[in-house]
Structure 1
Amino acid sequence: MPRDWLNLSWKLLLARGAIAVLFGIAAMAWPLDTALALVLLWGFWALFDSAGSFVQAFERGTPAAARLLLVVMGLVALVAAFLAIFSPALTAVTLTWILGIWLIVRGVFEVVAALVASGTAPRGLLLASAAVDVLLGILFVANPGRGALGIAFVLGLVAFVWGVIFLVMGFAMRRRVGALDQPAPTL
């Protein structure tokens, strides 16, 4: 039984690695298409989330306050879904702009945390993290279109690296399984 499990796992690792490498190459080669595809997927998820909120709002026994909240959340998700599906480029830019603002705010809070941290806290690391967050945030806000492309490219790079790791692990596992198949030497 263990041999079958090992045999299956190396094949899965190789398949996952190959798919990740191919996805990574495609995402890096076509970051605009990747960003738009991700926004579209997010839009369809928001559409299903909206439907789920509406169904939950009108289930029997849902309190009135919760019903109102679920309807509002459903409407917001519905608007976000239609924007993402029918205007994915605008949505990608908007989401990147929001990410940029969030990074700037996060960086400011990290600076404050570094300044008020006790003597044992690694202030230098907090300040370095804050600087990266603020710098990325400013870059995203200043040019959200390129920021969205950058995010898609980095996603592709990460997928490619993970794919290579999975391929190496799969081949190593295959070698191990092959060693198990060899008959033990007789003395």
Structure 2
Amino acid sequence: MFDELVRRWWIVAARGAVSVLFGIAALVAPDQTLAWLLKLFGLFALADGLFTMGAGLAVSWLSLFLEGFIGIAVGLVTLFAPASFVEYWLIVNIGGYAALTGALELAGALRLKSQARGAMVQGDWLLGLNGAISLVFGIFLLFNSAMNPGTMVMLLGGFALVSGILLLAFAFNVKGWRNVLGSPAVAL
């Protein structure tokens, strides 16, 4: 698993980049219409899900694969369900997505830690931290589903930006693991 993750570190980096771009877009234009936010979130969830599912397949990691599947499903529902359905369930959709992916990232971080072969790998905690933040953010949204849309956009943008930065930092740490673990050269 480690060797495959090291070889495909760029998939995790792509996830982080997509999250950072979504976060910046949400923070720069928080007053956009709800329809714009729905499309933007749907595209984000779909892209994030595709990258995550690809990473899960590449490294034979079930929790990543499931996280990707959930992202794709949420993205497709957000993009193609009737607007009245999606608008009503927007915060629940985002909160559920964040909580589920956070729990799966925590599970993945624990698996990663257990399979480190006794090696000290720098930055392995970043995935767990991202999972914990996602889980807490998701639960917060689920318990505050009547939130003002403008507030929700700002919170979501901030969350996506922090999550993306953590994923990028994790990805670049993973890239460096080949030196610690003796993995083959990274393929691009």
TM-score, normalised to structure 1, is 0.40
Instruction: Work out which of the two has the higher radius of gyration on C-alpha atoms and give 1 or 2.
Output: 1
